[in-house]
Amino acid sequence: MIIIGLTGSIGMGKSATLALFAEQGCAVYDADAAVHALYAKGGAAVAPVEAAFPGVTKDGAIDRAELSARVIGKPDQMRLLESIVHPLVRISREQFMAKATTPVAVLDIPLLFEGGGDDRIDTIVVCSAPVQTQLERALQRPNLPYEKLAAIISKQTPDWEKRAGADYVVDTSRGEADAREQVISILNHMNAPGWRPRAKQSKTHS
Q: What is the pLDDT of residues 74-120, one digit of tens each?
A: 889 988 999 999 899 989 999 999 999 999 999 999 888 887 656 78
Under 8 Å between Cβ of 158 and 7: no
- Using DSSP bridges, classify how beta strands 104-108 and 2-7 pair: parallel, antiparallel or unpaired: parallel
Q: Please, is 124 exposed, middle or buried when counting C-beta atoms within 10 Å of its C-beta (0-12, 13-18, 19+)? A: buried
Q: According to the model, what pLDDT value does residue 117 have? A: 59
pLDDT of residue 155 exceeding 90, the answer is no
The CA distances from residue 75 to 9, 78, 79, 81, 203, in Å, are 19, 5, 6, 10, 23
Q: According to the model, what pLDDT value does residue 116 have? A: 61
Other beta carbons within 10 angstroms of residue 33's beta carbon come to: 14
Give pTM, 2 decimals: 0.86
The pLDDT of 162-186, averaged and rounded, is: 96
For the chain, counts of helices (H) and of strands (E): 9, 7
